[in-house]
Amino acid sequence: MRAVPYRMWTGYYLLLLAQQDYAPRTVLDIACGTGTMTEMLADEGLTMSGLDLSAGMIREAQRKNATSKYQIEYQVADATNFDLAEPVDAALSFFDSLNNLLDPSQLAGCFASVFRNLKPGGSWIFDLNTGYAFETELFDQSNLKRTAKLKYDWKGAWDPESRIITVTMNFWWKDEPFTEIHRQRAYEKDEVFDLLEAAGFVDIHAYHSYTLNPPRAKSDRLHYLCRKPG
Ligand SMILES: C[S@@+](CC[C@H](N)C(=O)[O-])C[C@H]1O[C@@H](n2cnc3c(N)ncnc32)[C@H](O)[C@@H]1O
């Protein structure tokens, strides 16, 4: 994760909130992983909480938070169906986490859960990889340099019918091999807009990621912004 530009993503999230002319206080990071961006947003003055399906990710997020000056509430929960003790002003989900929801009904469940747990007027901002990314072999990556501590060689198999890519990720940690299989479903703008509208969201916009430009035919990732009616 060292190469992931979390600092830039944090700045971009704040820019998107400014684009919505909205200054939330409480923000939920959905599929927060180990909480790197969650912590950076706490640094920006937001009262953060996070959820993730993986108990291992949440354990690591809590371990990192134990030495932090912010009290971040982390919980193991499923993005497709969750309920918070208190509604929040805003929710976000970055790093194509929602592409892990392999059926549109799961994405619909996520949108319904976010809507339920947002205060009126609340903001919902997330990103999704597109089919273009998978068709153009975004996940075919490797670093097999002799000097690399973690070597990896990834290969994706894209199925245009199901719109699911299956990525076989071979790793070598200090030359010890292990393999992970990751699956993501590609979602396109019209499908996502329809699901957001069906959940009740308004003021729906999509941008070519890390810009304020509209989506292009060759966008590999889009950021979506919307609001719960006030
Ligand atoms: C690529 S990681 C991104 C993590 C974090 N957002 C970041 O930027 O570092 C995707 C995360 O999605 C989580 N995830 C996958 N399916 C989920 C679900 N149904 N509910 C909640 N989290 C989920 C995984 O456990 C993983 O931590």
Any domain includes 178: yes
- State the total domains in the chain: 2
* Cβ–Cβ under 8 Å, residues 133 and 105: no
CA of 53 to the centre of ligand 1 (A): 7
Q: Are residues 170 and 201 in the same domain?
A: no
Q: Is residue 203 part of a domain?
A: yes
Going from the Cα of 146 to the center of ligand 1, the distance in angstroms, rounded, reads 30
For the CA of 31, the closest atom of ligand 1 is 22
> Following DSSP, what letter does each residue of 115-145 receive, concatenated?
HHHEEEEEEEEEEEE-HHHHHTTTT--EE--
Is the domain of 106 the same as that of 70? yes
- β-bridge mates for residue 54, sequence order: none
Q: Do 87 and 108 fall within a single domain? A: yes
175-180 long-range contacts, CB within 8 A, separation 24+: 175/151
Q: Which of 215, 216, 220 is nearest to 139 (CA)?
A: 220
Tell me, yes or no, whether 33 and 96 share the same domain: yes
Q: Is 37 in the pocket of ligand 1 (CB under 6 A)?
A: yes
* pLDDT tens track, the chain, 230 positions: 667 899 999 999 999 999 999 999 999 999 999 999 999 999 999 999 999 999 999 999 999 999 999 999 999 999 999 999 999 999 999 999 999 999 999 999 999 999 999 999 999 999 999 999 999 988 898 989 888 888 999 999 999 999 999 999 999 998 899 999 999 999 999 999 999 999 999 999 999 999 999 999 999 999 999 999 99
Q: Is the CB of 16 under 6 A from ligand 1?
A: no
**Residues spanned by the domain of 32:** 6-130+187-227
DSSP 212: S
Number of the ligand 1 atom closest to the C-alpha atom of 36? 9
Query: Could you tell me whether strands 176-185 and 164-173 are parallel, antiparallel, or unpaired per DSSP bridges?
Result: antiparallel
Q: Which residues contact 201 (CB under 8 A, 6 or more apart)?
A: 111, 115, 124, 226, 227, 228
pTM, two decimals, is 0.96
